[in-house]
Structures are given as structure tokens and as C-alpha cells.
A and B are shown apart, each in its own frame.
Chain A
Amino acid sequence: MLVFIIRRLTQSAIVVAVMSVLVFAGIFAIGDPIDVLISPEADEAERAAAIARLGLDRPMHEQFLAFAQEAAKGDLGRSFVHGVPALDIVLQRFPATLELALAAMLIAVLLGIPLGVWAGLRPDGIAGRTIMTGSILGFSLPTFWVGMLLIMIFAVTLGWLPAGGRGATREILGVPFSFLTADGLAHLVLPAINLALFKISLVIRLARAGTREVALQDYVKFARAKGLSARRVVGVHILKNIMIPVVTVLGLELGSVIAFSVVTETVFAWPGMGKLLIDSILQLDRPVVVAYLMVTVLLFVVINLVVDLLYSLLDPRIRLGGSRS
């Protein structure tokens, strides 16, 4: 177990290193941040001074080495745009995104699994077909369009919910969360549904496919023959056995929802990390982009680790050994 975790962490350290080189070179190739940042009225002297202040006058490999040295000490540099530590900016945005992502995943699980199992048990029934057709819509409708539609219906026309932004927050352990206040919750509903839509469809499909497969297995037939209640057959024998693919996919999806929910965050002006990434790329704010992606890599590593640990809980046959990577 310990070996397994250590190996994982070593691998992720390599990924982080490679990625930081790629991002560094990539943004360097796009252009010079000073062209975006500086006032057009600035003269040559001020331009040169600003370039020196931001350390952009040195060749790229020197800039990278300086960055790597500081990064080893835990300092990812200062944002070119905001002038404050890049990691602080990223972490400041993290709670908002985490909250949105977890809310979306919760909706996806709570709606997706029951609907999927239902559709799997009665694949030819009207309900089953309707659920499957609905899931196609969830897959194919573009997120931004659904987002605008939700805003137009529930915010502009009906006036039930706010059109965007994050509501009032309350702190837990110094971290501000908005789902604890009524206002915050109202602001959370639409973006969470918008973000969840695709995931619900995904979970429905996974759960349905799993259910159809598992429902024909001998042990299910045997359980039925033994006279177990339908609730116990579905709730224990089927549900537990379809969870492995669902947990795997949800784990990966959670990572991508946290890291790249750019569209939803943009439509709903949600002050999360996805919005930050886009803004930072547009402004060539390299320290923030690098810090952001480093946090993201770490996040994926942690999520994958948790998923692997969950496997062993769901399926006692799986053992996490040093030989497995």
C-alpha cells in the first residue's frame, strides 16, 4: 500500500516537471506578456523598465531555471497581471470551483444512477426509452446554450433564481463556501444543473449498461430464485456490482469538472478556476497558468488515488500491491 502511494507520487512529480516545461515553452511561444500588459502610452524607457521588473528581459532558459529553483521551495512566482503570488490566486478560486463541481457530481449521481438502473431493468419500457432519449439530449446539447436557456427561463422570465455570480458565503475552517446560505444556494442551483447535465447522461448510460449486464448474471438469477425481495436484489446485488465503472468514470470526470468547467463558469460568471485559466492565458500570465496546471495535476493524482482505494472497498478481490501501478 505504502509502496503503491510512493510510486504514484513519484510518477506525478515527473508529470508536474514535464508539464511545467511544456507550459513555459508554450506561453513563451505565444507572445510577450508585456505587449498585452503595458499601457500603450508607455515610452521605450518605461517599457524596458517594466520588462525588467517582471524579469522578462532574461532568456527563456534562465527564466525557467529561476522559476524551477523557487518552485522547489514552494514559491510558484508572482502573477504578471495581479502582482500577488500565483498560487494564492489559484487557491483563492479553488473553493468556488470545488463547490460547483461537487454539487454537479452529486446531482449526477443522485439522478443518474437511479434513472440508469431503471432504464437497465426495463430497457423496452416507455420509461426506459424516455430516459435514454433524454440522455442523448444531455450529451448533445452544447453546455453554453443550455446555460443561456436556463438563465433566460429561470432568471429572466420567471425571476426565480439569479442569473449568475456567486452568492453570500459562510466560512468553514476559514474557507468560504456558499452552499451554507440560502442566497448562496440559490446562486448555485443553475450552474450546478448546467454542469451536471452531461454527467447525468454519462452516469445513466454507464448504470444502464452495467445493470443490463449484471441482471443476467447467475448470482442475480439465483438471488431472485431464492426469493429475495426485488429491492434487495437491485439495491445490493446489482447496484454494488455496477459501481466499479461508474466510480472510475466519475473520478476522472470530477477532475475534469474541477479543472475545466470553463464554459459554465463563463456563462454564469462563476468566480472559479476555469474562468481564471482562460483569463490568464489571454493575458499571457504565465505564473498563474503554470501554478494552475500544477494544482490540476496534483488534483488528478489525488483523485485517481482515491478511486483506486475505493475499488478495493467496492470489490474485495482487488488488492493494491507494490506490483500494480
Chain B
Amino acid sequence: MIKEQIQDGLWRQNAGLVQLLGLCPTLAVTVNITNGFALGVATIFVMMLSNISISPIRNYVPESARVPIFILVIAGLVTIVDLSINALSKPLYDALGIFIPLIVTNCIVLARVEAFASKNSTLPSLYDGFFMGLGLTFVLIILGAVREIVGNGTLFQNLHFLIGEKYQFLTIQLFDSSDGFLLAALPPGAFIALSALIVFLNLVNQKK
């Protein structure tokens, strides 16, 4: 059972590349690896928690009122994550800005609750939330890496916001940032990088 969730989350039903849900944060936040990773982890948390909150009560949720109930649960969880990130790292919180609260409107969270957690028992729902989130996180990290290298000439920029000021040396400067290809750092660059990833995924799938 768990194997299916791994395959679905990471590849066959990948949230970022196949289902194409949650594009707003995917495209807007991924200017570097750190941002992509942090938003990805926040999304994994919210997805796991919302799936395991909904799954046990799925038989008590009336069909007609399910969406407001799901949104209530998701909004509550996101607010908790939002406050926690703000307390953990203020610079990171400032960098991610509005996109943490916007996880509420990320369709992928609601979609998994609706399509999976409300129909399956708790443990598979937990796996589903985790691997769907993980699949999205991988996409966010790859997009962040590509855009950071091409647009800014760096890797792991701002990582010290996440793990502490003394790790500032981890930032790798590949070339001078003024030589970066600006387009990659701007939203259109995100679309182009994402479409390149989708092309890659489809090519691999076709070969099979």
C-alpha cells in the first residue's frame, strides 16, 4: 500500500509536475533553494496534519458541509505553521512572506484531503500527505536550484536563515551575480524552468 503512495506522490501523480496544483507558491517562491525547501517542508507538515485530522473523522463529516470543514482544519493548521516559522526564523519568514498563509489556498492540500483522506484510513492518509508533499518539495528544490544558479550565480543562498548565522559559508558563489541571467529570477523564468521539468518527466514516461 505504501509503495503506491510513494510512486504516486513522487512521480505518477506529482503535485507540481503532473497534477499542476499549487502553482502560485511553486512559481513565486522558488527564487532559491532555501525558499523552495522551506515552503516545501511547511507544505509537507500541513498536508500530513490535515490528512490525519480529516481521515479519522471522515465518516462524521456530512457530504454537504465537507469543504468548509476541510478549509477550517487546513486554515487552523496553516496558522499554527505560520506562527511557528515566524518564531523559528524571522528572516526566513520575511522571505517567504505571504506564501505561508497562502498554503491555505494551495489546491493540492484541499485536493488530497478531498480525494484521499476523506476516503481512506488514517495511516495511508498520513503516507499520502507526506509523499505528495515530498514530491512537491523536490520540484520546489529543483526549480529553486536552477533559478538560483542561472539567475544569481549562487547555490544555497540564505540557507543560514534556516540553520543559523554561522553557516553563512555554505553559500556557493559560482559566478558574479551581476552576470546572472535576470529572466531566471523573475516569474517568467519560473514558468520556463517548470515547463522544462514537465518536458523531462514526459520524456521519461514516454520511454517506458
**Do these two chains really belong together in a complex?**
no
B-to-A contact residues, CB < 8 Å: none
